[in-house]
C-alpha cells in the first residue's frame, strides 16, 4: 500500500506545484505553457527533485500528445487552406522550407551531426498555434486579414508536421528499403481500411452514439486509443495512429461535441507532457550549447518573421499586413517539442538537442508574447524600413480610379451589403481593401477598387477625399478608423463618415473624433431583428417571405466564401488547439 500512496502523493504535489506556478504566470500575463515547463524545471532534478515516478507520468504525457493529435484530426479542415488559397499554401510551405534549410545550415556550422541538424532545422520551423491564437484572440483580431493568413499558414505547417510524425518512425525502421516500403504499405493499408470502414459505418450509427453524451465520449476515446494502439503495433508512432483516429471520426455530425468534451481531458494530460519536458531539461546536457541556443533564438525571433514578410510581400500584400502576419511566427511550436521527443525515443537525437529546443521554445514564447503585445508600436517604428518587403505593384496605380462620391474601406462581409446598395442605386463608388485577391475579383467585375492600407495617411490623402460625400469604413481596428475619420474630415469637413467599432468605448472615441455614425454590428443586428418583429407581428405571412429572402441572401454570401464571425472564430480556435 505504501508505493501507490507515494505515487499519488507525488502526483498531487506536482499538480499543486504546477497550479501555484501557473497562478504566478497568470498574474504576470505569461503563457501557461511556460508555466508548466517552469514547474517541471523546479520540480525536477535541477530544483526540488521530488519526481520519482517518471515512468507513470510519461504514460500520461504520451496520452496527452495522443489526445492532442486526435483532436487535431477531428477538427482538421482543409477548407481553411482553400479559403486562403495560394497565400496560405505559399507562406506556410515557403516558411517551413526556408527556415528548415537555414536551421540545418546553422546547426551544421555549429558542429551538429547530419541527422540532429535535420531535426533541429525542422524543429525550429513550426510556430505555435496555441500561442498565436491566444495572442490574436486577446487582441480581438481573429477576423483581420493578417489573422486569416496566419491561420492558413499554420494549417499548412500542421499538415507538414503530421506527415513527419507519420513517416519518421517508418523511415527509421530496420530492414532496409524493402522493410521500410513494406512498413509504409502496411500503414497505408491500415489507414485506408480504417478510414473506409469509419466513413461507411460511423454515419449509420451516429444517431445511436449521440443518444448518450457519456457513451459518445467513451466511444471516441476507445476509437482513438484503438487506432493509436494499432499503428503502434504495426511499427508506427502512437501519434500517427491517434491522428488518423481523429480524421476517421471527423465524418460524425457530433464531432464538435466530441472535440469539446475531449478538450479538458487533452489539456490535463498535456500539462504533464510539458511538465516532464521541463523536468527533462538538463543544463549539463546544454554545456557548450549556449551559443547554439542564442543563434537559434535569433533565427526564430528575427529570421522567421523576416522570411514570412518576404513571402507575403512577394505575394502582393502590404507592408502592414506582412508585418503583422510575420510577427505571429516568432516562437517554437509544441509540435516541435513532440518531434524532438520522438527523435529521442528513436535514438536519432540526444538529450542535449532535445533540451536545447525546449529551452529555445520557452525563451521564444516569452519574447514573442512581449513583441506581439506591442506589435502596433513596433510597426510604427519599423514602417519606414519595411518598404523593401512590399512589392512594387502594391504602389502602382493607387489613384488610377476617378474621384468617387462614395468610398468604402473593406469589401468583405459588412462591406458586401454596402456594395450591393451602391450598385443598386447606381452610385459612383470606390472600394479600398488590403487583400490583393479581393481587389482582383472586384476589378474583374468592373468595379473601381484600389489596393492599399487604410492606416497609411499618405495613401488616404491620395484618394480625392475633397470630392467624397460619404466614406464608410468596415475595418475592425479602431486606430485605423480614427485615422480615416481624421484625414477625411481634414480634407472635407462636409463628408459623412461611418465607421465600425466593437466596443462602446471605441464608439465614443470615433464620435469624439468626428465620425457621423458608428456601426456596432452586434447591437445593430439586435435593433434590426427587433424592427423586423415590430413590422411582422401582425402579419403571419411576413416571416415566411422574409425567410425565403434571407436564405437566398445567405446562399449568395456563402458562394462568395463569407462566414459569420462567431462561426469562423469557433473553427479557428478548434482546428488544432
pLDDT tens for 372-421 read: 878 888 888 888 888 777 765 544 444 455 677 899 998 877 888 898 88
What percent of the chain is predicted at pLDDT more than 70?
A: 80
Q: Are 349 and 115 a contacting pair, CB within 8 Å? A: yes
Confidence of residue 512 (pLDDT cuts 50, 70, 90): very high
Sign, CA dihedral 77-80-86-88, equals: negative
Strand partners, 499: 473, 518
Express each pLDDT in 360-370 by its tens digit.
988 888 888 88
Nearest-angstrom CA–CA distance, 123 and 112: 14
Q: Of 199, 178, 226, nearest to 70 (Cα)?
A: 226
Q: Give buried/exposed letters for 210-233 (b at 16+ CB in 10 A, else e).
A: eeeeeebbebbbebbbebbebbbe
What are the DSSP calls for 409-428, one per residue? E--STHHHHHHHHHHHTT--
- Residues 482-490: what's their mean pLDDT? 91
Query: What does the pLDDT read at residue 202?
Result: 72
For the chain, the C-alpha Rg in angstroms (whole number) is 27
Query: What does the pLDDT read at residue 509?
Result: 92
Q: Of 216, 309, 289, 246, nearest to 68 (Cα)?
A: 246
How does DSSP classify residue 303?
I
In this structure, the strands spanning 406-409 and 429-433 are parallel
Winning range, highest mean pLDDT, from 102-111, 307-316, 348-357, 454-463: 102-111
Q: Are 348 and 120 a contacting pair, CB within 8 Å? A: no
pLDDT at 69 over 50: yes
Confidence of residue 495 (pLDDT cuts 50, 70, 90): very high
The angle formed by the CA atoms of residues 405, 410 and 413, to the nearest 5 degrees, is 115
Helix (H, G, I), strand (E, B) or coil at 172: coil
Other CB atoms closer than 10 Å to residue 169's CB: what's the count? 22
Q: Give buried/exposed letters for 376-394 (b at 16+ CB in 10 A, else e).
A: eeebeeeeeebeebbbeeb
All structural domains of the chain, each given as residue ranges with its CATH number in brackets, are 2-386 (1.20.1530.20), 396-571 (3.40.50.720)
Q: Are 85 and 441 a contacting pair, CB within 8 Å? A: no
Express each pLDDT in 187-246 by its tens digit.
566 666 666 776 777 777 767 777 777 888 888 888 888 888 887 777 666 777 787 788
Nearest-angstrom CA–CA distance, 452 and 466: 19
Phi-psi region of 225 (alpha: psi -120 to 50; beta: other; left: phi over 0): alpha
Per-chain mean pLDDT for the chain: 79
Grid cell of 275 as nine digits: 511538465
User: Picking from 85-89, 108-112, 171-175, 326-330, which range would have the lowest pLDDT averaged per residue?
Assistant: 171-175
The model's pTM: 0.65
Amino acid at each position: 500500500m505504501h508505493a501507490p500512496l507515494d505515487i499519488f502523493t507525488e502526483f498531487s504535489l506536482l499538480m499543486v506545484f504546477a497550479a501555484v506556478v501557473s497562478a504566478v504566470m497568470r498574474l504576470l500575463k505569461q503563457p501557461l505553457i511556460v508555466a508548466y515547463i517552469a514547474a517541471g524545471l523546479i520540480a525536477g532534478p535541477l530544483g526540488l527533485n521530488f519526481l520519482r515516478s517518471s515512468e507513470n507520468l510519461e504514460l500520461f504525457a504520451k496520452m496527452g500528445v495522443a489526445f492532442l493529435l486526435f483532436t487535431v484530426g477531428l477538427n482538421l479542415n482543409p477548407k481553411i487552406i482553400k479559403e486562403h488559397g495560394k497565400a496560405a499554401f505559399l507562406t506556410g510551405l515557403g516558411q517551413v522550407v526556408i527556415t528548415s534549410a537555414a536551421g540545418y545550415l546553422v546547426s551544421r556550422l555549429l558542429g551538429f551531426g547530419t541527422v540532429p541538424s535535420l531535426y533541429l532545422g525542422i524543429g525550429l520551423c513550426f510556430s505555435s498555434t496555441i500561442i498565436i491564437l491566444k495572442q490574436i484572440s486577446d487582441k480581438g483580431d481573429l477576423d483581420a486579414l493578417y489573422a486569416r493568413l496566419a491561420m492558413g499558414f499554420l494549417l499548412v505547417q500542421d499538415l507538414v508536421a503530421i506527415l513527419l510524425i507519420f513517416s519518421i518512425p517508418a523511415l527509421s525502421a530496420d530492414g532496409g528499403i524493402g522493410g521500410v516500403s513494406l512498413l509504409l504499405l502496411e500503414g497505408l493499408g491500415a489507414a485506408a481500411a480504417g478510414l473506409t470502414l469509419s466513413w461507411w459505418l460511423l454515419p449509420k450509427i451516429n444517431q445511436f452514439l449521440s443518444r448518450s453524451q457519456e457513451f459518445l465520449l467513451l466511444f471516441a476515446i476507445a476509437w482513438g486509443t484503438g487506432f493509436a494502439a494499432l499503428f503502434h503495433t504495426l511499427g508506427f508512432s502512437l501519434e500517427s495512429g491517434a491522428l488518423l483516429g481523429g480524421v476517421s471520426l471527423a465524418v460524425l455530425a457530433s464531432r464538435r461535441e466530441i472535440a469539446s468534451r475531449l478538450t479538458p481531458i487533452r489539456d490535463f494530460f498535456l500539462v504533464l507532457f510539458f511538465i516532464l519536458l521541463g523536468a527533462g531539461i538538463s543544463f549539463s546536457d546544454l554545456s557548450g550549447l549556449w551559443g547554439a541556443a542564442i543563434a537559434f533564438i535569433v533565427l526564430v525571433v528575427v529570421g522567421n518573421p523576416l522570411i514570412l514578410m518576404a513571402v507575403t510581400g512577394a505575394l502582393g500584400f502590404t507592408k502592414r499586413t506582412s508585418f503583422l502576419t510575420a510577427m505571429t511566427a516568432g516562437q517554437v511550436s509544441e509540435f516541435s517539442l513532440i518531434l524532438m521527443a520522438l527523435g529521442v525515443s528513436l535514438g536519432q537525437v540526444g538529450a542535449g538537442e532535445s533540451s536545447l529546443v525546449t529551452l529555445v521554445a520557452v525563451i521564444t514564447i516569452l519574447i514573442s508574447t512581449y513583441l506581439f503585445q506591442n506589435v502596433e508600436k513596433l510597426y510604427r517604428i519599423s514602417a519606414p524600413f519595411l518598404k523593401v518587403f512590399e512589392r512594387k505593384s502594391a504602389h502602382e496605380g493607387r489613384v488610377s480610379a476617378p474621384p468617387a462620391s462614395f468610398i468604402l474601406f473593406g469589401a468583405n462581409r459588412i462591406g458586401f451589403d454596402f456594395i450591393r446598395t451602391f450598385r443598386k442605386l447606381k452610385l459612383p463608388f470606390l472600394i479600398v481593401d488590403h487583400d490583393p485577391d479581393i481587389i482582383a475579383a472586384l476589378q474583374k467585375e468592373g468595379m473601381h477598387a484600389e489596393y492599399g492600407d487604410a492606416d497609411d495617411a499618405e495613401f488616404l490623402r491620395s484618394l480625392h477625399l475633397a470630392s467624397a460625400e460619404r466614406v464608410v469604413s468596415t475595418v475592425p481596428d479602431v486606430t485605423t478608423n480614427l485615422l480615416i475619420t481624421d484625414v477625411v474630415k481634414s480634407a472635407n469637413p462636409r463628408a459623412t463618415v461611418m465607421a465600425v467599432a466593437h466596443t462602446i468605448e471605441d464608439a465614443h472615441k470615433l464620435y469624439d473624433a468626428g465620425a457621423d455614425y458608428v456601426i456596432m454590428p452586434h447591437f445593430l443586428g439586435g435593433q434590426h431583428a427587433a424592427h423586423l418583429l415590430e413590422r411582422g407581428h401582425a402579419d403571419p405571412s411576413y416571416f415566411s417571405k422574409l425567410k425565403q429572402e434571407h436564405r437566398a441572401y445567405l446562399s449568395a454570401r456563402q458562394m462568395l466564401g463569407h462566414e459569420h464571425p462567431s462561426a469562423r472564430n469557433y473553427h479557428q480556435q478548434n482546428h488544432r488547439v
